[in-house]
Amino acid sequence: MLESGMDRFSFPCSLACAAVLASFNSGAVARELPASGVIVQLRSAAVPLAAEPAASASVGLRDNPQARREQALAAWQRQHALRTERLSQVAVEAGVPARLLGSAGAALRLDFALPLQGTALEAAMRRLRLHPDVASVIPNVRWQRAQALTVPNDPLFAQQWHLQAPTTFASALNLPAAWALNTGVANAPVVAVVDGGVRYDHPDLAGRLLPGYDFVSEVDSANDGNGRDADASDPGDWVTRVEVMATDSPYEDCDVSDSSWHGTGIAGQIAAATGNSVGVAGVSWGARVLPVRVAGKCGALLSDLLDGVRWAAGLDVVGAPPNPNPAKVINLSYGGSGPCDNAYQQTVNDVTAAGALVVVAAGNGAGPITRPADCAGVLTVGAVRGDGAKTSYASYGPNVALAVPGGSGSIGADAGLLTTLNAGRTVSAAHTYEALAGTSFAAPLVAGTAALMLSVQPGLTPADLTRLLKASVRPHTAQPNLPMCRAASLSQAVCNCTVTTCGAGLLDAQLALAAVTTVVLPTPAPTVPTVPTAPTTPVADSGGGGHTGWAWGLGLWAWLAALALSRGRPASRAKGCLPARC
């Protein structure tokens, strides 16, 4: 069975979110460090009032503002000494070693012998709170100042509207503010692009790409003269009319199309070289992209795709060398037309257990999501227009985690998502940039944001990333002239998103990073190697989507009608990509 590319058609805020927003509005948020100690407020009854000193005759004669200030200061110091002495006793009784006691406004400062964080900090604070003389305890942390916005010098960055602050376009990702917190250069994670390969020679991907692997097993589909090998570069995936019409052609069930350079566009969105005065900016400035080629002419054979996803996470695949660079995030913009089955689900389970987050495109079928978007444990990404409404092509459903810009798919609404590409209609030609649209290009925006989060907290698990991304979203927008999206509908075009159709809300990279800075992870327990499960034999099914350049003359609904007819074909090959494919 074959899977096809999810596109390229050149076509309420939670409590956690509210807390993050409030911290930004206060102008004080950045990265919170381990606590050097705590600030303790004692109950008033815990400390007796300091006795007044006996007044001398000379003192009694002094009754002026300066004398009153001196007397008040002396009284405060006496009372502070008593409170400090009592706090010292409380610390001993609570079993919290103190290195230093001091003032903290109207409260008291207690410094630990060593800075604490995580469960150790919580335990110390709990012991103090349980003492009957203590009214309140909060961490004494050091805050970093809020920094100015970070704007890269890439000349085409101004055209990447989807990365800007959400002013002109309500669904924009707010990345300049996020980059002010973290650009992703430190602790750079590996992000796998399981796709059709990449153009390693694109100048805006220089230094961003790791050696990957080619899992395309059928020579006809591979288009590079052989089957599986260590070369993950994209030779082109064009299909000509002559190839389709030839007798006994291996491409008889394919769509005629030019080369898509699909994986190259996705890699550029995640990690195009940024700040190099060339081309476009990537979401994560330091992420290392691991190209895993699973698709060629007509799409991806399901067995190749599942092997590629496993290998991307560092799991063993028979016949392939070990992956020296296991990915923490896997972008998968290919999918089929049926529901998630055992083969897909077991693969997702295995790679998630290995510590990799699987980010998948919702699909471009304008109907309920299908595999792998409906599998448990994946992070499914929906696509919205610049104004935040669901795009005409995006699939939807309760398993969608959140929504990001995908390009409108129609002239005049927004300009699509500008990224790295190639001008070759068949084989590689000039390296270029093109504005693309589709859920294929929504998914890598989330994968890149997850990479930024891992740069701050490398220990985040797939569940952590999913939870934080969903908790830090902005609310969906509502356009007065559009209907509400309905999860039960079999098909729907542009509509106002709901949490049951487009996920928790709109991704905001700044809020996502701010949420990460407040997370204190426990010390991980030693891991026990798991025994790989036996592979499940995939069941044949028809492919689900594709990718091609802007082709506005092919109307969306006409194309979807053609897609519905194409799904009646035999399942021997995946389909090529046309506008608004999936």
Active-site position among 154, 195, 414, 508: 195
Who's near 265: CB < 8 A, 6+ residues apart? 8, 419, 420, 421, 434, 436, 440, 441
Closest CA to 367 of 334, 407, 396: 396
Which DSSP state fits 49?
A: P
Distance CA 214, CA 293 (A): 5
Active-site position among 131, 162, 202, 262: 262
Which DSSP state fits 138?
A: E
Question: What is the tally of helices (H) and strands (E) in the chain?
Answer: 14, 17
Distance CA 242, CA 244 (A): 5
Closest CA to 417 of 3, 127, 11: 11
**255 an active-site residue?**
no
In 441-519, which ranges are continuous DSSP H helix? 443-456, 462-471, 509-517
Q: Map residue 99 onto helix, strand or coil.
A: strand
In 205-252, which ranges are continuous DSSP H helix? 219-222, 241-245
Active-site position among 36, 440, 455, 566: 440
Burial status of residue 126 (CB atoms within 10 A of its CB: 0-12, 13-18, 19 or more): exposed
Q: Count the Cβ atoms, other than its own, within 10 Å of residue 562.
A: 15
**472 an active-site residue?**
no
**262 an active-site residue?**
yes
Tokens describing residue 99: 């290195």
Q: Count the Cβ atoms, other than its own, within 10 Å of residue 429.
A: 12
Q: Count the Cβ atoms, other than its own, within 10 Å of residue 540.
A: 11
Residues involved in catalysis: 195, 262, 440
